[in-house]
Amino acid sequence: MENYFLYSVCLIAGAVGALFISRLAFKYGLIDRPNGRSSHDRATPKCGGIGILAAFILSSLILKIDFTFWVPAAFLALLGLLGDKFDLAPKIRLPLQFIAALIFIQLSASSNQVSALASFSLPQPAFFSIFSILWFVFLSLFIVATANWYNFMDGINGIAGITGIVGFGLLVVFNIHSGGDSPFSVLSICIGLSCLGFLPFNVPKAKVFMGDVGSILLGFVFACIVVILSKSFFDFVCLASFLFPFYADEFVTMAVRLKDGENLLIPHRRHLYQHLANELGIAHWKVSVGYGLLQFVVGSSILSARRFGLFSVLTLLVIYFIGFVWINYIVRVRVVDRLKKTI
């Protein structure tokens, strides 16, 4: 009964946070004004994800989740809130994000909270090995990249909220199928429900945007839970695949931009989802639902293929990625053709 009450509170928190910001954002200067990179055409309140942050902190405290997990995540969310207000430069944000990730990994390893760290033989201070150091670095990069990529992908109405519902829901299913009795399952449900509460204020027409405070939090927490639930590299691959559309879009877009000689640090509007919504004029909610459906199909099929082993899962992911690249190519060709016709 206690969990059901917590679930209700988190659902309400996601909605109340969005409602609160939508009413007071103009007073406090929390406004996203359209520019050349925007997918919207009017000034819109941002920081609506503050209710998701409230639900996350409340759930973590009630579930007695170790502070090594939720404090770094909450810190980054509050940093995102400052970024929403003052537009912090990457040279400020990135170092702090890496520090938060390293604190989570190191303290969690010391407290034996993270099974992945023990399974992958992350070292005690006196027993460092090259493999352990490389894995430590990889996990840090994975967490920071996921936090930022989730933020980059939050560019049209509904996409971050829908992805949060599906992604954290798949984490719960994985943990249940793995026989896990973990507070992180309850926490994942709470986060998914807070995203659900936020969603009506963001689709089909956005009354408020999630902002960095919500999107960076969701990406960071998702990545940390992936690390926590992974008992092996195989588990890690399966769990990370639950965010497949975001990872695939980021990797392909980075490859395209590098091919075109662009600076990856410069903001852009070249993700597949942005082309679909902007250049091809597909309604935001349709693109967002499409990404959510793809995410659900990939995640569900990976859960089914998991019993056949790592090779089967990797093969399936390669097939999905090839299909994603093919769709990217078709869409980008159509975008170029349209641009030529307008010249």
d(CA 226, CA 174): 10
Q: What is the pLDDT of residues 6-40, one digit of tens each?
A: 999 999 999 999 999 999 888 888 888 877 676 77
Task: Express each pLDDT in 231-243 by its tens digit.
Answer: 888 999 999 999 9
The whole-model pTM stands at 0.92
Q: Point out which residues pair with 32 in neighbouring strands.
A: 44
Strands 44-45 and 31-32, sheet pairing: antiparallel
Query: Which residues fall within 8 angstroms of residue 333, CB to CB, at 6 or more apart?
Result: none
Q: Tokens representing 233?
A: 């590299």
pLDDT in tens, the chain (343 residues): 568 899 999 999 999 999 999 998 888 888 888 776 767 778 889 999 999 999 999 999 999 998 889 999 999 999 999 988 887 888 889 999 999 999 898 877 665 555 544 444 444 444 446 667 788 889 999 999 999 999 999 989 999 999 999 999 999 999 988 876 679 999 999 999 999 999 999 998 889 999 999 999 999 999 999 999 988 889 999 999 999 999 999 999 999 999 988 888 787 888 999 999 998 999 999 999 999 999 999 999 999 999 999 999 999 999 999 999 999 999 999 998 887 776 6
Q: Of the candidates 299, 297, 169, 286, which has an alpha carbon nearest to the alpha carbon of residue 241?
A: 299
Give CA 222 to chain center in angstroms: 6
DSSP character at residue 122: P
Contact 172, 182 (CB under 8 A): no
Cβ–Cβ under 8 Å, residues 316 and 302: yes
Residue 181 sits at φ, ψ, to 5 deg, of: -115, 80
Torsion over CA: 100, 106, 109, 115 (sign): positive
What is the model's pLDDT at position 121?
40
Rg over alpha carbons for the chain, rounded to the nearest Å, is 20
Q: State both tokens at 268.
A: 């852009």
Residue 89 confidence (pLDDT):
82
